[in-house]
Amino acid sequence: MNEPIPSLPAPSEDHLRLLSVFHYVFAGFALLGMGFLALHYGLMSQMMDSANWENQSNPPPEGFFDFFVWFYVAMGAMLLVGLVLNLVAARSLRARRHWMLCAVVAGLNCLQVPVGTVLGVFTLVVISRTDVRASFRD
């Protein structure tokens, strides 16, 4: 009845390869997010066009859409940075280089709930193992 609990399998090349693929997929999600953001910007700019509000009694205030433009720029920049960082981290995981970069990107991914959190936590767990850490060349 008292069977020993089996230990976790030793980290292998497959774990890092799988994490690399997931980082590529997550970068693809950022690209999709940028496409959605561009679509949303196009729709909002059409809606806020002054020609659509000429015959209306309560048009939006002048400069109302300017706030949204800055929001689109900020979100687009964040998505672009996330895309580039995840691409670099995916290549680094595959080549077992730049351990600190992979850890920082994993930490930043944890802020993107829920998918990024799962990817970030699993990446941190795998690359924090002593034998995996020792295999990285910085």
- Write down the residue that tokens 């995916």 correspond to: 90
pTM of the model: 0.84
Place of tokens 């795998």: 126
Give the integer Cα–Cα distance in Å for 128 and 123.
8
Residue type, 71: F
> Looking up tokens 């850490």, which residue turns up?
133
Note the pLDDT tens digit of each residue in 55-95: 777 777 778 888 889 999 999 999 999 999 999 999 999 99
- Is the dihedral angle over the CA atoms 36, 37, 39, 40 positive or is it negative? positive
Q: Amino acid identity, residue 119?
A: L
> What type of residue is 111?
L
